[in-house]
Amino acid sequence: MTGAHDIGRPTLAAITRSPRGGGIAAVARLVGQVLADEAGTVRTVTLAVGERDFRSSTARRVCFGLDVAAEQALGRCDWICYTHLRLAAVQRAVPRILARPYAIFLHDVEAWTPLSDPMRRVMAGAFLRLANSRHTADRVAAANPSAGPIVACPLALPATTGATPPAVTIAIDIGPRPIVIVGRMTATDAYKGHDQLIDAWPRVLAQVPDATLICVGEGDDVERLQAKAAGVGAGHAVRFTGFVDDATRAAIYDRAVALAMPSRREGFGLVYVEAMAAGLPCVGSIHDAAREVIVDGETGFLVDQADTDAIVARLVAQ
């Protein structure tokens, strides 16, 4: 690379860029757009082949590795940008004489704890290590000090054309005072705060009877959360939308009074930025990178995820 706008020919290696891929896919799209803006074009290799195929088979992982190796061996790129640490493991199988330089974008819990020796070497071998927040960079460095310097690169929203978005009819009744949480609902993502919000909701309703909790997203934990909402007596006031497209999500933001995601392990939390761009205050937690996105008392509030009283107080105040 010889200049600020001469970055050679990059290949983007991502898990998915699907609209159903949540934050992982959103970051892949953002990084891809930056690379395309700088390089003029960018080749892309993805692990997932379908909109929902995020838990890929062994065969698909092998194919992904072969695709990434081919990009390098056939001279199709000057360097590889991996949007997730575990994807970069394929570099171990590429013969050194054929391998191109590579960069890694670090997100959150993937490297917040000590890595295996092979994965530490993979991370140390990158010519550039980016993290989505200072919080992530510090945690990764503390857990893996031999991995090399890590540059914090906070996320942002893509530029818009300024055109007025079309009116969207929301298929679900979100009520007059909706508070929204946006995120995958899987057993492995149970740290995002859905449980804590549902636990708090009966007390919210006692003070704001027309409040509705809108859970945007999908995953294998939805049925459990629905049962929990019914079990605490708030099933009528907790709605699950399933997957929604960008326009519908924007319409929900437009009608909501706040976004609440008192998560415990967000490496950044792009949905906070989305919500604030729509003029919504955000309720995040003191435990993670939400502190770098939400200005407590100005653009929203930071709470202890375990403090139900604080959660209720902040939600009722919206």
- pLDDT of 3 reads 41
pLDDT digits (tens, 9 = 90+) for 192-204: 999 999 999 999 9
Task: State the DSSP code for 95.
Answer: -
- pLDDT of 4 reads 46
- What pTM, to 2 d.p., does this model score? 0.91
Phi, psi angles (nearest 5°) of residue 110: -60, -25
pLDDT above 80 (res 159): no
pLDDT above 80 (res 38): yes
Best mean pLDDT range from 37-41, 154-158, 243-247, 309-313 = 309-313
Where b means 16+ CB within 10 Å and e means fewer, 66-92 reads eebbebbeeeebebbbbbbbebbbbbe
pLDDT above 90 (res 148): yes
Calpha distance 83→80 (Å, rounded):
10
pLDDT digits (tens, 9 = 90+) for 81-139: 999 999 999 999 999 999 999 999 998 778 889 999 999 999 999 999 999 999 999 99
Give kind and range of the element (H or E) at residue 106. Answer: strand 102-106
Confidence label for 48 from pLDDT (cuts 50, 70 and 90): confident
Residues 6 or more apart whose Cβ sits within 8 Å of residue 223: none
